[in-house]
Structure 1
Amino acid sequence: MKDFINNKRFLVSMVIVIIVVIGGIFFKTSFSGNGDSEKVKVVSNSKRNLYKGEKIRVPKVNDYTQPELTPNQEKISKTIAPVVKKNHLNGTILFVKDGKVLYNRGYGYSNFQKKTINTARTQYQILSVQKSMTTQMLLQLVQKKKVSLDDPISKFYPTIPNGQNIRVRNLLTMSSGLVLTKKVEGTPSPENVVKWYVSHVRNNGQLGMWHYFGPNFSLIAGIVMKYDKRSYEELYKQMFIKKLNLKETGFITDRSAVPYMSASYNETNNVNNLFAQPFVESPINTHFELGTADVAMSARDFYTALSAILNNKYVSAKTNQQLRALALPSSGYAGGMYEDVDRYVMRGQGYGQSCVVNMSKNGKDAVVYMSNFSVNKKFGGYNSLRRIVAGFYNEMENGRIS
């Protein structure tokens, strides 16, 4: 009987010890650390994501705090503060020099209604700049000689009007002469998005002339999917998210993959309430932006992906030069980028968001501005935003921001 009682006491003691140990671990995990140093909780999402074992980030309150600035970052902050205030910039600003991040800071609200602020982690739609990534998918096929830049698109889409005269290079330079015959409708699968465009485009008689038409790149995505036998999303995840180890990038069609996604706001002339018109993107628009504007990224991830392209991580320098040589003199545009004398300029706007990037041709210097606020005409509109980012870049290159 004594042995039984002693054994029972021993078991009770062991249970108490285990509870104390677990409680201590929980207390330490829950309350130690702050700001960006805090570990981010992850949960398994293998059923929803394409790669087994892939995990998603679950935001905590501390993910929306801003880290302390270093003395040098404080100097940069004071330098750009008048421009930020005057133009009501709302988003994230990133400065990179010689491949090193000088400054990465959020401004304004990520979600005004929830009172969460923009930070370095905030995610924004990359909009039309995504076309530069879709281009790299196509160029891999070009480099493997599976596709030629001079192929007529009738080779891939026999029913497109004038397809025998439109070349793949015309899609890349926005000179296909194609326009839509009606507004997009429905929420089709990626394959059916391409089929819908093929059935609803016509020739406007301006083949070879600059005319910005986003679906050109959905047709490019369709060509890529024909040869690769994977969905666009699968290929994008493999090429960019996994290859570059991007932690804050995902498709906006899966909100669990973009936990730091900013809310969008439409243009308003009410200076006292810039967030008076929240914008909710239609599922129709989301589905029809295949290969053109359905990815969201943080500013750091955005820079990493664009720098990889300019550093020829996906295709050879020779293949990328072939692309650059296609640009029309009137636009300087080829494959999602505008070439200037000393830099590349990437930009996008729409759906209550906008972004502008100025980047050196070797991909080592950059200024990235991403915003969840539609460009406001009252503050100079989109051209003003482009001038602001160009000005920041010039200041950095001249050594006044360092």
Structure 2
Amino acid sequence: MSWFKSRLKTCTINFGHDRWLIQIRVRIFDSKYRKSPPFSICKIINAPHENLCKCLYNTFTLEPFRIVYNERRIKRQNVGGGTTLKDAKRLWLTMLFILVTAVGVGLTLRDQLQRHVKQTQSAMKHQQLPSKREPKIEPAKPQESQSVKRLEVNKAPAIDQYLNLLNFSGTALIVKNQHVVLNKGYGLANLQKKLSNTATTRYLIGSAEKAFVATAILQLVDQGRLKLDDSISKTISDFPNGQTITVRQLLNHTSGITGRQQTNVVTTPQAMLAEIERNGIQREPGVWHYLDANYIVLANVISKVGHQNLHQYLQQHVIKPLGLTSTGFYNDNEVQDPSFSTGYKIVNRQLQVPPKPEFSQLYGVGDMFMSTWDMYQFDRAISRHQLFSQAGYDEMIRPGSASHYGMGFYNDPGLIVSHGVVDGWNVSNGFTHDGNTFIVLFSNIQNNIASFGRVNQEILNRLSTIQ
């Protein structure tokens, strides 16, 4: 009885979606080691990969046409003179084993390729689309932990002496190269109760709140929900000259609006916006004129675009992510807290408590309080681009006019600074352009310091001797 051996010369498998093109090239040997010329077999199979083996068996062993075709071809080549149907089946079973092995390798390679393509596409998608998740806040360094804010630190006796000579009343926090060099209270937080200012005393920050409003706007810009050069009419349709005034011009006080007068009457953000609209414009946009009204309008923009009022937005997107536990918005209950300072004003060389303003009139422009430590945490996040993008930071500190005012901050030669004055309180807050030095000075005497600019410069000079 004759027998056959087959030698696989090549096997090519191409696959698509449930479609297989299989091509083999073989040579046949009989018992006398006579060989046939190489010949090819090609077959297209339409089948899902889980049924492929069954289809291969049917195609190459049971299909009569294929068996007869190859049996006749072998005979024409004078190989195995006694070829039988059983012998041919044995041959094709051998070939089937080779094919199944090759197909298994092909399936494995295909699956690995598909997984790699999906992972690559997913990575590219995440890189291209702007993220709408909350920004990742870098945790504080060990030397900046929450326990540090409660400790009074004085590693800068020259600066401490200077502030004492100024009769500074408030809290001073100075950080250089991620190390707290001064964190100390000066004077009294409450004269009547003889309570001292400490490292954790809270103060109203006045117009320094504008930096928080600007932060909210820049976050919405990063999310693609707003553009700095959008006309204000896109958000507030009937705003006067709204087709010409942009969000950017409101941020840097070049909108040209007339504004409004602050009163002691309880009001709402919507009522103040309506008053600003009624008062119309004073000039065409482009000329710097500092007005609280610009940021009152922006607070209303945040409410419309962010779908929550300014206080809610800042709590969710700035205050809570940064862990600002001594920050909030003024209400009468806060005054009863011993950590809340009383504001004073020097009148005829005497300290007096000025009448408190109606804080609903200061929505977005002066109704916020915080500690110096919380302000430092905010500054630190701003300088490290943790609350919004590098592009947003560049816009924030870029002067919009000769005034050096950007968006909530002044870009001065030595410091990026914000200021705030509200009846009884005066604050200065700044950090160097490289983000390595922070100077936060909160005072509960409104007019005790003639120029915080000069004070900041003197502190920078004295810091130069501290490593």
1:221–1:308 CA distance, 2 compared to 1 (3 A): same
Alpha-carbon separation, structure 2, partners of 1:329 and 1:401: 35
5 Å matches for 1:332-351? 332-351=404-423
Match for residue 7 of structure 1? none
1:387 is the counterpart of 2:454: yes
User: 2:229 aligns to what SS in structure 1?
Assistant: coil
5 Å matches for 1:250-269? 250-253=328-331, 255-256=333-334, 259=337, 260-269=339-348
Match for residue 241 of structure 1? 319
Out of 297, 300, 319, which is 1:222 matched to? 300
Alpha-carbon separation, structure 1, partners of 2:436 and 2:332: 31
Q: Which has the larger radius of gyration?
A: 2
Alpha-carbon separation, structure 2, partners of 1:91 and 1:387: 17
| Contact map agreement 1:241 1:249 (CA 8 A) in 2 | yes
Q: Which amino acid aligns with 2:343?
A: S
| Contact map agreement 2:296 2:365 (CA 8 A) in 1 | yes
| Contact map agreement 2:200 2:371 (CA 8 A) in 1 | yes
Alpha-carbon separation, structure 2, partners of 1:241 and 1:328: 27
Structure 1 gaps, min length 5: 1-65
Q: Which amino acid aligns with 1:386?
A: G
Structure 2 gaps, min length 5: 1-149
1:84–1:342 CA distance, 2 compared to 1 (3 A): closer
Higher relative contact order (CA 8 A, sep 6+): 1
Out of 322, 329, 332, which is 2:395 matched to? 322
Moved over 4 A (4+): 66-69
> Shift of residue 175 of structure 1?
0.8
Alpha-carbon separation, structure 1, partners of 2:261 and 2:413: 38
User: 1:101 aligns to what SS in structure 2?
Assistant: strand
> Shift of residue 89 of structure 1?
0.8
Moved more, 356-365 or 234-243: 356-365
Identity value in percent: 29
Match for residue 116 of structure 1? 195
Provide the TM-score with structure 1 as the length reference: 0.73
| Contact map agreement 1:250 1:258 (CA 8 A) in 2 | no
> Shift of residue 135 of structure 1?
0.8
Alpha-carbon separation, structure 2, partners of 1:247 and 1:256: 13
Q: Which amino acid aligns with 1:390?
A: Q
> Shift of residue 401 of structure 1?
4.0
1:281 is the counterpart of 2:359: no
User: 1:369 aligns to what SS in structure 2?
Assistant: strand
5 Å matches for 1:200-211? 201-205=279-283, 207-211=285-289
Alpha-carbon separation, structure 1, partners of 2:298 and 2:245: 13
5 Å matches for 1:34-183? 73=154, 76=156, 78-180=157-259, 182-183=261-262
Q: Deviations over 1:340-387 (max 9, x none)?
A: 2343122112211111123022433111110010124xx6x2xx2321
Q: Which amino acid aligns with 2:204?
A: Q
User: 1:145 aligns to what SS in structure 2?
Assistant: coil
Match for residue 436 of structure 2? 364
Alpha-carbon separation, structure 2, partners of 1:257 and 1:247: 16
1:172–1:222 CA distance, 2 compared to 1 (3 A): same
User: 2:436 aligns to what SS in structure 1?
Assistant: coil
| Contact map agreement 1:252 1:258 (CA 8 A) in 2 | no
5 Å matches for 1:19-30? none
Provide the TM-score with structure 2 as the length reference: 0.63
> Shift of residue 206 of structure 1?
5.2
Match for residue 58 of structure 2? none
> Shift of residue 68 of structure 1?
6.6
User: 1:174 aligns to what SS in structure 2?
Assistant: coil
